[in-house]
Amino acid sequence: GDSVTQMEGPVTLSEEACLTINCTYTATGYPSLFWYVQYPGEGLQLLLKATKADDKGSNKGFEATYRKETTSFHLEKGSVQVSDSAVYFCALSDQGTGGFKTIFGAGTRLFVKA
């Protein structure tokens, strides 16, 4: 079945450091790919998405490119801030014959130190 694997955390960075959170997926169809962010004490917020191969999603300085050849959707940011401290979830969604489904990764906790 479909699955999403993302790097284990926690990831601890200093402010202004570069961030990469790896995410790879397996899917039988042609899913859309997403990154969600969960700030402490809050629900999930959609951070960015890409719906087809080679699409790049971007938001708030974060980027991720849908790479079909490597089945990856790595999250990157050039300079993190303390306010980026949160849990990040990679996910895929597909509308197939079995209906709509979303598969979430395990989540990666990011701590950014001042």
Partner 1 sequence: SAVISQKPSRDICQRGTSLTIQCQVDSQVTMMFWYRQQPGQSLTLIATANQGSEATYESGFVIDKFPISRPNLTFSTLTVSNMSPEDSSIYLCSVVLGRETQYFGPGTRLLVL
Interacting residues toward partner 1 by CB under 8 A? 31-32, 34, 36, 41-46, 49, 51, 89, 91, 93-95, 99-100, 102, 104-107
Maximal C-alpha separation, the chain: 48
- Least separation in angstroms between residue 111's CB and partner 1 is 14
Rank residues 99 and 114 by Cβ distance to partner 1 and give the closer one: 99
Nearest CB to partner 1, comparing residues 17 and 103: 103
Per the CB < 8 A criterion, the answer to whether 80 and 110 are in contact is: yes
Q: How far is CA 89 from the centre of its chain?
A: 5
The distance of closest approach from Cβ of residue 16 to partner 1 in the complex, given in angstroms and rounded to an integer, is 28
Decide: 48 and 64 in contact? Cβ < 8 Å. yes
Q: Write down the residue that tokens 């001042």 correspond to.
A: 114
CA distance 68 to 4: 14
Shortest distance, CB of residue 78 to partner 1, whole angstroms? 25
In the complex, minimum distance from the CB of residue 56 to partner 1, in angstroms, rounded to a whole number? 16
In angstroms, rounded to a whole number, what is the distance separating the alpha carbons of residues 98 and 85?
36
Please, which residue, 14 or 95, has the CB nearer to partner 1?
A: 95
